[in-house]
Structure 1
């Protein structure tokens, strides 16, 4: 049986153009957030973006059909990454710099209750999902709800397709390890 890695795709829409003063807090925090996520326990890899410095893009970046270019700049915040476990991703997302920025999301992102902000799924070792696969999984979660092929932290599944309860003690331990490891010198 193959081993699996947790794939995560995030998507949102800004309330204003990316270069606007309204989004400045997000822009200012983004480099540190990426840097700490990439150093977090359980982080494996992330896609970059075509035409930008950093990691290579995992295919051509596309957005879900629900995306509306309301801010007029043709850009929406989205990420695609691979993690060793649900607990590792939860520790990185809800704690540290990302957790702090996450609490300000309502200042920068359009609230849409019918659109998820992310989707998770298990990718077999040796397979790197591309942006198109991520969007298909995202749209599946939006249309069908949580299932083994596309789920959320609220309704997770293990790699065998069974409902899963994350180990919250492990999340806290990983968050503490990340905080010690990633503390500025």
Structure 2
């Protein structure tokens, strides 16, 4: 049974240096490739783009100019999980500590949206706040504590440890 909902995701980070700095050049140079991988991945629906690039790095939702945001929509959590953790995207994600400061709070949120809805950055940031304030819930959750789409039966699923913390004390 196909759901009438899609999975929205936001992930945010604060670069360790300005986008033009050589310290984050590998990250910035990989964005076009990684975005193309996402668009070709099974289950991909939509991703946030700014008005000047093929990415979203020019969208600045916070006063800190090194704070960047990424958002996308997927048909389901398994498709997104496969892309993030089991595709050519994974080696780039494994290098995130080179390019980003350790996040002080939630840096990724997942939530269900009606099919056809395009989430806003403010909507995504509010989901991060919900996780920081209340923990995972049907309104905003993580890969570790997933919730089924509102029109699907099932209980929350305790899936994976937080990938930022795995292997790092």
Q: Does 1:136 align with 2:126?
A: yes
Residue 82 of structure 2 is matched in structure 1 by 91
Q: Give the number of the structure whose residues are more often helix, by fraction.
A: 1
CA distance in 1, matches of 2:60, 2:125: 7
Q: Does 1:82 align with 2:83?
A: no
Q: Matched residue of 1:12: which SS?
A: strand
CA distance in 2, matches of 1:68, 1:106: 22
CA distance in 2, matches of 1:144, 1:62: 25
1:105-143 CA-partner distances (Å, limit 9, x unpaired): 00011013x412210000012321111111111111111
Deviates most, 12-21 or 89-98: 89-98
User: How far 1:18 sits from its partner (Å)?
Assistant: 0.9
Unpaired runs of 5+ residues, structure 1, are 167-185
Residue 100 of structure 2 is matched in structure 1 by 109
Matches within 5 A, 1:19-168: 19-49=20-50, 51-54=51-54, 61=59, 63=61, 69=64, 74-112=65-103, 114-160=104-150, 162-164=155-157
TM-score using structure 1 length: 0.75
Number of equivalenced pairs: 153
User: How far 1:17 sits from its partner (Å)?
Assistant: 0.8
Structure with greater contact order relative to length (CA < 8 Å, sep ≥ 6): 1
CA distance in 1, matches of 2:24, 2:141: 28
Name segments (4+ residues, structure 1) moved above 6 Å.
none
User: How far 1:95 sits from its partner (Å)?
Assistant: 2.3
Contact kept? 2:16, 2:66, Cα under 8 Å: no
Q: Give the number of the structure whose residues are more often strand, by fraction.
A: 2
Unpaired runs of 5+ residues, structure 2, are 160-169
User: How far 1:42 sits from its partner (Å)?
Assistant: 0.3
Contact kept? 2:60, 2:68, Cα under 8 Å: no
Q: Matched residue of 1:77: which SS?
A: strand
Distance 1:117 1:76, change over 3 A: same
